[in-house]
Amino acid sequence: MPDIAAVKAALAAQRIETPSWGYGNSGTRFKVFTRPGVPRDPYEKLDDAARVHAYTGIAPTVSLHIPWDRVDDWAALAAYAKERGLRLGAINSNTFQDDAYRLGSVCHPDPAVRRKAVGHLLDCVDIMDATGSADLKLWFADGTNYPGQDDVTARQERLAESLAEVYARLGEGQRMLLEYKLFEPAFYATDVPDWGTAYAHCLALGPKARVVVDTGHHAPGTNIEFIVALLLRAGRLGGFDFNSRFYADDDLMAGAADPFQLFRIMHEVVRNGGLEPSAGVAFMLDQCHNVEDKVPAVIRSVMNVQEATAKALLVDADALAAAQRSGDVLAAHAVLMDAYATDVRPLLRALREERGLDPDPVAAYLRSGHQERIAAERVGGDQAGWGA
Protein backbone atom coordinates (compact mmCIF):
# COMPACT_ATOMS: atom_id res chain seq x y z
CA MET A 1 0.00 0.00 0.00
CA PRO A 2 1.26 3.53 -0.68
CA ASP A 3 2.73 5.32 2.32
CA ILE A 4 0.33 8.14 3.22
CA ALA A 5 3.10 10.40 4.54
CA ALA A 6 4.91 10.07 1.20
CA VAL A 7 1.67 10.75 -0.68
CA LYS A 8 1.12 13.90 1.35
CA ALA A 9 4.70 15.04 0.84
CA ALA A 10 4.33 14.60 -2.91
CA LEU A 11 1.07 16.55 -2.89
CA ALA A 12 2.58 19.35 -0.82
CA ALA A 13 5.47 19.61 -3.29
CA GLN A 14 3.31 19.71 -6.42
CA ARG A 15 3.10 23.04 -8.25
CA ILE A 16 0.39 24.10 -10.70
CA GLU A 17 0.81 27.20 -12.84
CA THR A 18 -2.20 29.38 -13.57
CA PRO A 19 -2.64 31.39 -16.78
CA SER A 20 -2.96 35.18 -16.73
CA TRP A 21 -5.66 34.95 -19.39
CA GLY A 22 -7.79 32.74 -17.14
CA TYR A 23 -8.41 35.78 -14.93
CA GLY A 24 -9.68 37.95 -17.79
CA ASN A 25 -13.03 38.12 -19.50
CA SER A 26 -13.45 35.57 -22.24
CA GLY A 27 -16.14 34.02 -24.31
CA THR A 28 -16.95 32.43 -27.61
CA ARG A 29 -17.17 34.03 -31.01
CA PHE A 30 -20.83 34.58 -30.19
CA LYS A 31 -20.49 36.68 -27.06
CA VAL A 32 -18.13 37.72 -24.31
CA PHE A 33 -20.03 38.15 -21.06
CA THR A 34 -18.03 40.49 -18.90
CA ARG A 35 -17.85 39.68 -15.20
CA PRO A 36 -17.59 42.27 -12.46
CA GLY A 37 -14.18 42.68 -10.87
CA VAL A 38 -12.12 41.30 -13.70
CA PRO A 39 -8.48 42.58 -13.76
CA ARG A 40 -7.67 45.62 -15.86
CA ASP A 41 -3.97 44.93 -16.27
CA PRO A 42 -1.32 42.26 -15.61
CA TYR A 43 -0.74 43.60 -12.12
CA GLU A 44 -4.33 42.94 -11.13
CA LYS A 45 -4.14 39.50 -12.74
CA LEU A 46 -1.25 38.77 -10.39
CA ASP A 47 -3.32 40.03 -7.45
CA ASP A 48 -5.95 37.44 -8.34
CA ALA A 49 -3.37 34.70 -8.92
CA ALA A 50 -1.99 35.48 -5.46
CA ARG A 51 -5.45 34.72 -4.03
CA VAL A 52 -5.47 31.36 -5.80
CA HIS A 53 -2.06 30.56 -4.35
CA ALA A 54 -3.05 31.79 -0.88
CA TYR A 55 -5.97 29.36 -0.68
CA THR A 56 -4.50 26.36 -2.51
CA GLY A 57 -0.86 26.68 -1.44
CA ILE A 58 0.32 25.08 -4.67
CA ALA A 59 -0.06 27.71 -7.40
CA PRO A 60 2.90 30.09 -7.03
CA THR A 61 3.60 30.72 -10.74
CA VAL A 62 1.64 32.52 -13.45
CA SER A 63 1.97 32.10 -17.23
CA LEU A 64 1.94 35.28 -19.28
CA HIS A 65 0.72 35.71 -22.84
CA ILE A 66 2.38 38.28 -25.08
CA PRO A 67 0.94 40.71 -26.11
CA TRP A 68 -2.24 40.05 -24.13
CA ASP A 69 -0.14 41.02 -21.11
CA ARG A 70 1.47 44.38 -21.71
CA VAL A 71 3.68 46.36 -19.34
CA ASP A 72 6.50 48.85 -19.81
CA ASP A 73 8.79 47.25 -17.28
CA TRP A 74 8.91 43.45 -17.11
CA ALA A 75 11.38 43.36 -14.26
CA ALA A 76 8.98 45.52 -12.25
CA LEU A 77 6.17 43.07 -12.94
CA ALA A 78 8.42 40.21 -11.78
CA ALA A 79 9.23 42.17 -8.62
CA TYR A 80 5.51 42.80 -8.05
CA ALA A 81 4.89 39.06 -8.37
CA LYS A 82 7.66 38.32 -5.90
CA GLU A 83 6.16 40.69 -3.33
CA ARG A 84 3.00 38.61 -3.53
CA GLY A 85 4.79 35.28 -3.15
CA LEU A 86 4.51 34.54 -6.85
CA ARG A 87 6.89 34.02 -9.80
CA LEU A 88 6.30 34.61 -13.46
CA GLY A 89 6.12 31.34 -15.35
CA ALA A 90 5.96 30.40 -19.00
CA ILE A 91 5.91 33.15 -21.60
CA ASN A 92 3.32 32.30 -24.25
CA SER A 93 3.86 33.81 -27.67
CA ASN A 94 1.14 35.04 -29.98
CA THR A 95 1.66 34.73 -33.72
CA PHE A 96 -2.00 34.37 -34.55
CA GLN A 97 -3.80 37.68 -34.15
CA ASP A 98 -2.10 39.99 -36.65
CA ASP A 99 -3.53 40.50 -40.12
CA ALA A 100 -0.11 39.53 -41.48
CA TYR A 101 -0.66 35.96 -40.28
CA ARG A 102 -3.59 35.12 -42.57
CA LEU A 103 -1.54 32.38 -44.24
CA GLY A 104 0.51 31.51 -41.21
CA SER A 105 3.41 32.90 -39.19
CA VAL A 106 6.67 30.94 -39.02
CA CYS A 107 5.44 28.74 -41.90
CA HIS A 108 4.17 31.61 -44.04
CA PRO A 109 5.33 31.54 -47.69
CA ASP A 110 6.54 35.17 -47.47
CA PRO A 111 9.92 35.49 -45.73
CA ALA A 112 8.98 38.97 -44.48
CA VAL A 113 6.07 37.55 -42.48
CA ARG A 114 8.28 34.78 -41.12
CA ARG A 115 10.78 37.42 -40.04
CA LYS A 116 8.05 39.33 -38.19
CA ALA A 117 6.95 36.14 -36.42
CA VAL A 118 10.48 35.10 -35.46
CA GLY A 119 11.09 38.67 -34.29
CA HIS A 120 8.14 38.33 -31.91
CA LEU A 121 9.45 35.03 -30.57
CA LEU A 122 12.88 36.58 -29.98
CA ASP A 123 11.18 39.48 -28.19
CA CYS A 124 9.50 36.90 -25.96
CA VAL A 125 12.93 35.52 -25.01
CA ASP A 126 14.00 39.08 -24.12
CA ILE A 127 10.98 39.23 -21.83
CA MET A 128 11.98 35.91 -20.27
CA ASP A 129 15.41 37.40 -19.53
CA ALA A 130 13.72 40.30 -17.74
CA THR A 131 11.14 38.26 -15.83
CA GLY A 132 13.32 35.28 -15.01
CA SER A 133 10.89 32.95 -16.78
CA ALA A 134 12.40 29.65 -17.82
CA ASP A 135 9.99 28.53 -20.52
CA LEU A 136 8.99 29.92 -23.89
CA LYS A 137 5.73 28.24 -24.83
CA LEU A 138 5.00 28.16 -28.53
CA TRP A 139 1.74 27.43 -30.19
CA PHE A 140 1.30 28.10 -33.89
CA ALA A 141 -2.01 28.66 -35.58
CA ASP A 142 -0.20 27.87 -38.84
CA GLY A 143 -1.73 25.48 -41.30
CA THR A 144 -3.84 25.25 -44.43
CA ASN A 145 -7.55 25.02 -45.04
CA TYR A 146 -7.49 23.41 -48.47
CA PRO A 147 -5.54 20.63 -50.14
CA GLY A 148 -2.98 22.25 -52.42
CA GLN A 149 -3.14 25.62 -50.64
CA ASP A 150 0.58 25.46 -49.83
CA ASP A 151 3.42 22.96 -49.93
CA VAL A 152 3.28 20.90 -46.75
CA THR A 153 6.98 19.99 -46.83
CA ALA A 154 8.11 23.54 -47.54
CA ARG A 155 6.09 24.68 -44.55
CA GLN A 156 7.88 22.13 -42.36
CA GLU A 157 11.24 23.45 -43.61
CA ARG A 158 10.24 27.03 -42.75
CA LEU A 159 9.05 25.91 -39.33
CA ALA A 160 12.31 24.07 -38.61
CA GLU A 161 14.39 27.04 -39.71
CA SER A 162 12.41 29.52 -37.61
CA LEU A 163 12.48 27.30 -34.54
CA ALA A 164 16.24 26.80 -34.90
CA GLU A 165 16.81 30.56 -34.88
CA VAL A 166 14.78 31.00 -31.70
CA TYR A 167 16.34 27.94 -30.08
CA ALA A 168 19.81 29.38 -30.68
CA ARG A 169 18.76 32.50 -28.75
CA LEU A 170 17.76 30.60 -25.59
CA GLY A 171 19.95 31.30 -22.59
CA GLU A 172 21.23 29.06 -19.85
CA GLY A 173 18.33 27.37 -18.08
CA GLN A 174 15.77 28.48 -20.69
CA ARG A 175 13.64 26.02 -22.60
CA MET A 176 11.36 25.97 -25.60
CA LEU A 177 8.04 24.19 -25.12
CA LEU A 178 6.26 23.31 -28.34
CA GLU A 179 2.54 22.80 -28.33
CA TYR A 180 0.70 20.80 -30.99
CA LYS A 181 -2.91 21.05 -32.04
CA LEU A 182 -4.83 18.84 -34.44
CA PHE A 183 -7.31 21.43 -35.62
CA GLU A 184 -8.34 25.08 -35.51
CA PRO A 185 -7.92 27.68 -36.82
CA ALA A 186 -6.57 25.70 -39.79
CA PHE A 187 -8.75 22.77 -40.65
CA TYR A 188 -7.14 20.82 -43.49
CA ALA A 189 -3.65 20.53 -42.04
CA THR A 190 -2.12 22.29 -39.07
CA ASP A 191 1.67 22.52 -39.29
CA VAL A 192 2.21 21.04 -35.82
CA PRO A 193 -0.83 18.76 -35.57
CA ASP A 194 0.34 16.09 -33.16
CA TRP A 195 2.90 15.01 -30.56
CA GLY A 196 4.93 13.18 -33.19
CA THR A 197 5.48 16.30 -35.29
CA ALA A 198 6.31 18.35 -32.20
CA TYR A 199 8.65 15.62 -30.96
CA ALA A 200 10.47 15.38 -34.28
CA HIS A 201 11.12 19.12 -34.27
CA CYS A 202 12.24 19.04 -30.63
CA LEU A 203 14.64 16.17 -31.33
CA ALA A 204 16.18 18.08 -34.23
CA LEU A 205 16.52 21.23 -32.10
CA GLY A 206 18.18 19.76 -29.02
CA PRO A 207 17.63 19.03 -25.34
CA LYS A 208 16.13 22.41 -24.43
CA ALA A 209 13.14 21.74 -26.70
CA ARG A 210 10.24 19.77 -25.29
CA VAL A 211 6.64 18.97 -26.14
CA VAL A 212 3.60 20.42 -24.37
CA VAL A 213 0.44 18.35 -24.11
CA ASP A 214 -2.63 20.58 -24.18
CA THR A 215 -5.43 18.23 -23.21
CA GLY A 216 -7.87 19.96 -25.58
CA HIS A 217 -5.81 19.53 -28.73
CA HIS A 218 -6.54 15.97 -29.81
CA ALA A 219 -9.10 14.07 -31.78
CA PRO A 220 -11.94 12.67 -29.66
CA GLY A 221 -10.96 9.34 -28.16
CA THR A 222 -7.20 9.93 -28.35
CA ASN A 223 -5.34 8.07 -25.62
CA ILE A 224 -3.59 11.11 -24.14
CA GLU A 225 -2.04 9.19 -21.26
CA PHE A 226 -0.19 6.99 -23.75
CA ILE A 227 1.36 10.11 -25.28
CA VAL A 228 2.30 11.30 -21.81
CA ALA A 229 4.01 8.00 -20.96
CA LEU A 230 5.87 7.97 -24.23
CA LEU A 231 7.13 11.55 -23.94
CA LEU A 232 8.19 11.01 -20.33
CA ARG A 233 10.13 7.91 -21.36
CA ALA A 234 11.88 9.98 -24.01
CA GLY A 235 12.60 12.79 -21.53
CA ARG A 236 10.72 15.22 -23.76
CA LEU A 237 7.56 16.03 -21.85
CA GLY A 238 7.89 19.74 -21.16
CA GLY A 239 4.54 20.20 -19.53
CA PHE A 240 0.79 20.30 -19.72
CA ASP A 241 -1.80 22.81 -20.69
CA PHE A 242 -4.62 21.34 -18.64
CA ASN A 243 -8.21 22.08 -19.53
CA SER A 244 -11.40 20.14 -20.27
CA ARG A 245 -12.95 19.42 -23.58
CA PHE A 246 -16.36 18.06 -24.32
CA TYR A 247 -16.21 18.62 -28.07
CA ALA A 248 -13.28 20.73 -29.29
CA ASP A 249 -10.69 23.02 -27.71
CA ASP A 250 -13.28 24.02 -25.12
CA ASP A 251 -10.77 25.37 -22.56
CA LEU A 252 -13.12 24.64 -19.67
CA MET A 253 -12.00 23.80 -16.13
CA ALA A 254 -9.52 20.93 -15.95
CA GLY A 255 -11.14 17.76 -14.71
CA ALA A 256 -14.67 18.97 -15.39
CA ALA A 257 -15.45 16.98 -18.51
CA ASP A 258 -13.49 13.85 -17.77
CA PRO A 259 -11.93 13.49 -14.33
CA PHE A 260 -11.12 9.87 -15.14
CA GLN A 261 -8.96 10.94 -18.08
CA LEU A 262 -7.15 13.42 -15.83
CA PHE A 263 -6.54 10.59 -13.34
CA ARG A 264 -5.20 8.32 -16.11
CA ILE A 265 -2.85 11.09 -17.23
CA MET A 266 -1.64 11.71 -13.68
CA HIS A 267 -1.18 7.97 -13.17
CA GLU A 268 1.26 7.88 -16.08
CA VAL A 269 2.96 11.00 -14.72
CA VAL A 270 3.41 9.42 -11.29
CA ARG A 271 4.34 6.01 -12.66
CA ASN A 272 7.04 7.52 -14.90
CA GLY A 273 8.60 9.89 -12.38
CA GLY A 274 7.03 13.00 -13.88
CA LEU A 275 6.20 14.53 -10.49
CA GLU A 276 9.88 14.71 -9.57
CA PRO A 277 11.24 18.24 -10.03
CA SER A 278 14.15 16.73 -11.97
CA ALA A 279 11.68 15.55 -14.64
CA GLY A 280 11.11 19.18 -15.58
CA VAL A 281 7.38 18.84 -16.24
CA ALA A 282 5.45 22.12 -15.96
CA PHE A 283 1.88 21.57 -14.80
CA MET A 284 0.02 24.50 -16.29
CA LEU A 285 -3.60 25.38 -16.75
CA ASP A 286 -4.69 26.81 -20.10
CA GLN A 287 -8.29 27.76 -19.56
CA CYS A 288 -10.82 30.49 -20.00
CA HIS A 289 -13.87 30.99 -17.84
CA ASN A 290 -16.69 32.24 -19.98
CA VAL A 291 -19.74 32.26 -17.72
CA GLU A 292 -18.33 31.83 -14.22
CA ASP A 293 -16.32 34.00 -11.84
CA LYS A 294 -12.66 33.61 -12.62
CA VAL A 295 -10.83 33.28 -9.31
CA PRO A 296 -13.02 30.56 -7.77
CA ALA A 297 -12.99 28.74 -11.13
CA VAL A 298 -9.18 28.73 -11.16
CA ILE A 299 -9.12 27.54 -7.54
CA ARG A 300 -11.50 24.74 -8.43
CA SER A 301 -9.33 23.77 -11.44
CA VAL A 302 -6.18 23.62 -9.32
CA MET A 303 -8.05 21.43 -6.84
CA ASN A 304 -9.25 19.14 -9.63
CA VAL A 305 -5.67 18.56 -10.77
CA GLN A 306 -4.65 18.03 -7.16
CA GLU A 307 -7.41 15.47 -6.60
CA ALA A 308 -6.43 13.54 -9.72
CA THR A 309 -2.82 13.60 -8.54
CA ALA A 310 -3.78 12.34 -5.10
CA LYS A 311 -5.69 9.43 -6.62
CA ALA A 312 -2.76 8.62 -8.89
CA LEU A 313 -0.42 8.64 -5.90
CA LEU A 314 -2.74 6.20 -4.13
CA VAL A 315 -2.38 3.55 -6.82
CA ASP A 316 -0.86 0.51 -5.15
CA ALA A 317 2.16 0.22 -7.43
CA ASP A 318 3.34 -3.12 -6.02
CA ALA A 319 -0.07 -4.74 -6.35
CA LEU A 320 -0.41 -3.31 -9.84
CA ALA A 321 2.99 -4.61 -10.93
CA ALA A 322 2.29 -8.04 -9.45
CA ALA A 323 -1.06 -8.29 -11.22
CA GLN A 324 0.50 -7.12 -14.48
CA ARG A 325 3.35 -9.63 -14.21
CA SER A 326 0.99 -12.49 -13.60
CA GLY A 327 -1.22 -11.41 -16.47
CA ASP A 328 -4.21 -10.90 -14.21
CA VAL A 329 -6.10 -8.41 -16.31
CA LEU A 330 -9.00 -7.86 -13.96
CA ALA A 331 -6.87 -7.57 -10.84
CA ALA A 332 -4.60 -5.02 -12.49
CA HIS A 333 -7.55 -2.99 -13.66
CA ALA A 334 -9.11 -3.24 -10.19
CA VAL A 335 -5.99 -1.78 -8.56
CA LEU A 336 -6.26 1.27 -10.75
CA MET A 337 -10.01 1.64 -10.25
CA ASP A 338 -9.68 1.29 -6.47
CA ALA A 339 -7.42 4.31 -6.43
CA TYR A 340 -9.71 6.24 -8.74
CA ALA A 341 -12.74 5.44 -6.58
CA THR A 342 -11.05 6.66 -3.40
CA ASP A 343 -12.51 9.87 -2.00
CA VAL A 344 -9.31 11.87 -1.55
CA ARG A 345 -11.04 15.00 -0.29
CA PRO A 346 -10.55 14.14 3.42
CA LEU A 347 -6.84 13.56 2.76
CA LEU A 348 -6.50 16.89 0.98
CA ARG A 349 -8.47 18.72 3.67
CA ALA A 350 -6.13 17.26 6.29
CA LEU A 351 -3.08 18.18 4.24
CA ARG A 352 -4.26 21.79 3.93
CA GLU A 353 -4.93 22.05 7.64
CA GLU A 354 -1.46 20.69 8.40
CA ARG A 355 -0.05 23.43 6.18
CA GLY A 356 -2.09 26.14 7.87
CA LEU A 357 -4.56 26.49 5.01
CA ASP A 358 -8.33 26.44 5.09
CA PRO A 359 -9.53 22.90 4.28
CA ASP A 360 -12.01 24.29 1.73
CA PRO A 361 -10.21 26.76 -0.59
CA VAL A 362 -13.28 27.85 -2.58
CA ALA A 363 -15.37 28.52 0.52
CA ALA A 364 -12.47 30.37 2.15
CA TYR A 365 -12.08 32.53 -0.94
CA LEU A 366 -15.79 33.29 -1.11
CA ARG A 367 -15.78 34.25 2.58
CA SER A 368 -12.73 36.49 2.16
CA GLY A 369 -14.60 39.36 0.54
CA HIS A 370 -12.06 39.58 -2.32
CA GLN A 371 -14.72 39.01 -4.96
CA GLU A 372 -16.90 41.85 -3.66
CA ARG A 373 -13.88 44.11 -3.26
CA ILE A 374 -12.64 43.67 -6.83
CA ALA A 375 -16.18 44.04 -8.17
CA ALA A 376 -16.42 47.42 -6.45
CA GLU A 377 -12.90 48.61 -7.24
CA ARG A 378 -12.28 47.48 -10.78
CA VAL A 379 -14.29 48.95 -13.58
CA GLY A 380 -13.65 48.01 -17.23
CA GLY A 381 -11.94 44.63 -16.87
CA ASP A 382 -9.51 43.30 -19.43
CA GLN A 383 -10.47 40.75 -22.02
CA ALA A 384 -8.52 37.51 -21.96
CA GLY A 385 -7.78 37.89 -25.66
CA TRP A 386 -10.37 35.58 -27.13
CA GLY A 387 -13.64 35.95 -28.93
CA ALA A 388 -14.28 39.69 -29.18
Chain positions contacting Mn ion, by CB under 5 A: 214, 216, 241, 249, 286
194 binds, among ligand LRH, Mn ion, none (CB under 5 to 8 A by kind): none
Binding status of residue 92 toward ligand LRH by CB under 6 A: yes
Report how many residues bind ligand LRH under the rule CB under 6 A. 9
User: Which lies closer to Mn ion via its Cβ, residue 43 or residue 96?
Assistant: 96
Beta strand pairing status for 87-92 and 135-138?
parallel
Q: Please say which residue, 138 or 336, places its beta carbon nearer to Mn ion.
A: 138
Residue whose C-alpha is closest to residue 138's, from 184, 175, 176: 176
Least distance CB 139 / ligand LRH (angstroms): 4
Q: Which of 69, 249, 268, 307 binds ligand LRH (CB under 6 A)?
A: 249
What minimum distance in Å lies between the beta carbon of 27 and ligand LRH? 14
- Rounded-to-integer distance, Cα 350 and Cα 254, Å: 23
CB closer to ligand LRH, 48 vs 358 = 48
Per CB under 6 A, contacts with ligand LRH among 364-383 are none
Residues between 326 and 355 that touch ligand LRH (CB under 6 A): none
Min dist. Cβ of residue 237 to ligand LRH (A) = 16
Task: Indicate which of ligand LRH, Mn ion, none lies near residue 92 (CB less than 5 to 8 Å, by partner kind).
Answer: ligand LRH
Touching ligand LRH, residues 259-298 (CB under 6 A): 286
Residue 17 touches which of ligand LRH, Mn ion, none (CB < 5 to 8 A by kind)? none
Strands (E), the chain: 18-19, 61-65, 87-92, 135-138, 143-144, 175-179, 189-190, 209-214, 237-242, 282-285
Check whether the bond before 39 is cis (ω within 30° of 0).
no
Cα-Cα-Cα-Cα dihedral of 12, 47, 43, 92, to 10°?
40
- Binding partner at 358 among ligand LRH, Mn ion, none, C-beta below 5 to 8 Å by kind: none
Nearest-10 crossing angle of helices 259-271, 224-233: 20
Does residue 150 touch ligand LRH according to CB under 6 A? no
- The answer to whether 350 touches 9, Cβ cutoff 8 Å, is no
- Considering the rule CB under 6 A, would residue 17 count as an interface residue with ligand LRH? no
Cis status of the peptide bond prior to 147, with omega within 30 of 0: no
Distant-in-sequence, close-in-space partners of 297: CB < 8 Å, separation ≥ 6: 22, 253, 287, 289
**Measuring CA to CA, which residue among 19, 9, 6 is closest to residue 298?**
19
- From the list 339, 360, 228, the residue with the least C-alpha distance to 283 is 228
Rounded Cα distance between 376 and 349, Å, is 31
Closer to ligand LRH by CB, 254 or 347: give it: 254
Q: Which is nearer to ligand LRH, 66 or 230 (CB)?
A: 66
Rounded to the nearest whole angstrom, what is the least distance from the CB of residue 182 to ligand LRH in the complex? Answer: 11
Of residues 179, 191, 194, 268, which one binds ligand LRH by CB under 6 A? 179
C-alpha distances out from residue 229 to 213, 226, 270, Å: 11, 5, 10
Minimum distance of ligand LRH from residue 152's CB (angstroms): 21
Task: Provide the binding-site residues for ligand LRH, judged by CB under 6 A.
Answer: 21, 92, 139, 179, 181, 214, 241, 249, 286
